Chain A
Amino acid sequence: MFPDALHISIREPINTAVQALVVNYGFVFKAISHTILQAILFIEWILRGLPWWVMIIAFMVLTWQATRKVSLVIVVAVLLFAIGALGLWDLAMQTLALMLMATLISVAIGVPMGIWLAKSRLMRSITLPVLDVMQTMPSFVYLIPAIMLFGLGKVPAVLATIVYAVPPLIRLTDLGIRQVDGEVVEAATAFGGSPRQILFGVELPLATPTIMAGLNQTIMMALSMVVVASMIGARGLGEQVLNGIQTLDVGKGLEAGLGIVILAIVLDRITQGFGRSKLEDGQNG
């Protein structure tokens, strides 16, 4: 046995700190929570407000833009139609709204962070271990404090999803920028490009395929958080899965599970398509 005398506990200080945060700064978190909630509700309002066929056409157009493959456009339409046919349309739109919000915030945080990591070795050595923690820490560990700070419902779900889903985007943005051919950057510098002109005119465009791969990973991970998020009161497909399991209704759980898989496949193909189309332009010939 490990000797008791050497036992150190960080339990109490952490508990006190979280409690102090809730008591003293509750209003700050409430404000943040309110803002995010309004944004989610707005996205939800659009997605749920549009007729189903408009949504399907919109997805078909996106797929066409991304892949230029007629077959995939048809597959996407059929898959989305299946979601509706399974009676999951409204739930799927709620899940999609949650995921979109988490992805938007992830991009807003992840891409600038990735750029910073690529530019600063110090920043990278500090951030990479933090990303490891974010990815491996069981999500319930931060779900509970998230509930204490932001209340039950969609907001802590979105935030927990971001914690889990943003690391690949940061990593791949960093990687993408560092992978840009050094001589091309050198040439841009030699012709007098400013750091900003080089970042936006050379580095980011050339890193786009890698960044898109990161975005793809972020979306996939966000979707896989859907069931966990439903445990803290986020509605949508995940809630249905949870319901199914709790009532031993295997069929219901599987239906909703299929809905999540379909959303994942559709979004995966679209984001991959956007990443790849640029890559192929750059390599074939």
Chain B
Amino acid sequence: MAEIEIRNVFKIFGKNAGEAMAMARNGAQKPEILERTGCSIGLNDISLKIGASRIFVIMGLSGSGKSTLVRHINRLIEPTSGEILIDGKNVLDLKPRDLRDFRTHRVSMVFQSFGLMPHRTVLQNVVYGQRVRGLSKADANPIGMKWIETVGLAGYENKYPHQLSGGMKQRVGLARALAADTDVILMDEAFSALDPLIRTDMQDQLLQLEKNLSKTIVFITHDLDEALRIGAEIAILKDGKLVQVGTPSQILNTPADDYVARFVQRRAGAEVGHHG
């Protein structure tokens, strides 16, 4: 239902953004620009189309700009230049009030270290999005309870985050995103902090949810196995540049360059994920 299009997005950190932009447009590399202008290139001319109702994975090593990129979609970070369209509407045109409205109704997010509010119970955390919209407690709580049950945390609704394990905390994070009832969910390394078994469980749960709910999910990871397992399409970033976009099998079989090939190498011969 929600299609995301990112057009020529640049993000430059530092004071000399104008000069750095010009250099980046002319194809200068990240270290060179840093030396000349003191600016760090976060994103370098990214254009992407993210199809509705599936899981799109953005992959890259740390520092490749993937977390920066995903924060542009709900404008937690403002681009230096470029456009971000959701269903054809440019997110960058939104005024503060409309932006808040957009965040509560269209896009929710799951964070790497959970981002739960320690002074609120599980239920209060889960209904945060609904409460911010102005829904009363009585109306919001049943919605919250439904999603707490869906992620398998029934009985924990009145606990505080510090009383939960890492996996449970991230289930709360997931329930919070689902309870906001948005058609886009951004997941920033959502499972990276979890140990492998719980991680696989969570991936299964996410795939199941995706099947039932048909949401557009933008999933950030640095882990190829995870990307192949859950992604319908994968984009690979390096130094703020898009290296390759494709289905898992395209990435595995025809890596665009050495960087992607090195990622894939360790997986040579391994099977392709569900979506293949």
Contacts and interface: CB of A to CB of B under 8 A. Distances in A.
A187 B115 CA distance: 6
Interface in A187-208: 187-194, 197, 202, 205-206
Contacts of A191: 103-104, 108-109, 128-129, 132, 176, 180
A194 B113 CA distance: 22
Contacts of B263: none
Q: Main secondary structure on chain A at its contact with chain B?
A: helix
B76 interface: yes
Given A191-B104, A191-B108, A186 B162 contact: no
Given A183-B113, A190-B74, A190-B108, A282 B100 contact: no
A187 B132 CA distance: 12
Interface string B28-61: 0000000000000000000000000000000000
B121 to A, nearest CB: 11
Contact of B104 (A192, A202, A281, A282): A192
Nearest to B101: A192
Nearest to B125: A187
A281 B163 CA distance: 10
A186 B160 contact: no
Contacts of B118: 184, 206, 282
B213 interface: no
A183 B162 CA distance: 16
Contacts of B259: none
B109 A190 contact: yes
Interface in B160-190: 160, 162-163, 176, 180, 186
B168 to A, nearest CB: 12
Counting chain A CB atoms within 10 Å of each CB, which of B105, B133, B162 scores highest?
B162
A247 interface: no
B162 A284 contact: yes
A281 B118 CA distance: 9
B119 interface: yes
Contacts of B103: 189-192
Given A282-B119, A285-B160, A190 B76 contact: yes
B125 to A, nearest CB: 9
Contacts of A181: 115
A282 B128 CA distance: 19
Given A281-B160, A284-B162, A197 B132 contact: yes
A11 B261 CA distance: 77
Interface residues of B, number: 30
Contact of A184 (B109, B117, B129): B117
A283 interface: yes
B13 interface: no
Interface in A169-191: 181, 183-184, 186-191
B24 interface: no
B156 interface: no
Contacts of A282: 118-119, 160, 162
Contact of B111 (A183, A193, A205): A183
Contacts of A184: 115-118
Given A184-B116, A190-B109, A283 B162 contact: yes
B115 A192 contact: no
Contacts of A188: 117, 128, 132
A152 to B, nearest CB: 46
Contacts of B119: 205-206, 278, 281-282
Most interface-central of A187, A281, A283, A285 (chain B CB within 10 A): A187
Nearest to A208: B119
Contacts of B128: 188, 191, 193
Contact of A186 (B105, B108, B115, B129): B115
23 contacts: A183-B111, A183-B112, A184-B117, A186-B76, A186-B115, A187-B109, A187-B111, A188-B128, A188-B132, A190-B74, A190-B109, A190-B186, A191-B109, A191-B128, A192-B100, A192-B104, A206-B118, A206-B119, A278-B119, A282-B119, A282-B160, A284-B162, A285-B160
Q: Which 7 A-B pairs have the closest CB atoms?
A: A187-B115, A192-B104, A192-B103, A285-B162, A183-B115, A190-B109, A191-B129
Interface of A: 181, 183-184, 186-194, 197, 202, 205-206, 278, 281-285
